[in-house]
Amino acid sequence: MAATRIIVRNNGSLRIEGDFEIVDQEGHAFGLAGRTQVSLCRCGQSKDKPFCDASHKSCAFESVVVARDLPPPAPKPAT
């Protein structure tokens, strides 16, 4: 299986491809019926959250994202 890849779509969803699992806050897995590609909602309007139902097209959702490097993580405080 291919490595997991997440594609941030401008003005749209997060597309996940490859070998992955999606779980809820309690750690229960969503049944994906063998899918190796799904789209997750970014606009907050989907009636099938966390999955995208293309509601972003009718709610004027806009978010253009360009890849960039993140800064190094902050050091953890000593305990």
Per-residue confidence (pLDDT) for residue 78, from 0 to 100? 86
Domain range summary for the chain, segments of one domain joined by +:
1-65
- CA 61/CA 22 separation, integer angstroms: 24
Q: Rg for the chain (alpha carbons), in Å?
A: 16
Per-residue confidence (pLDDT) for residue 61, from 0 to 100? 96
16 or 3, higher pLDDT: 16
The average pLDDT across 39-64 equals 97
- CA 50/CA 40 separation, integer angstroms: 6
Q: Could you say which architecture CATH assigns to the domain 1-65?
A: 3-Layer(aba) Sandwich (3.40)
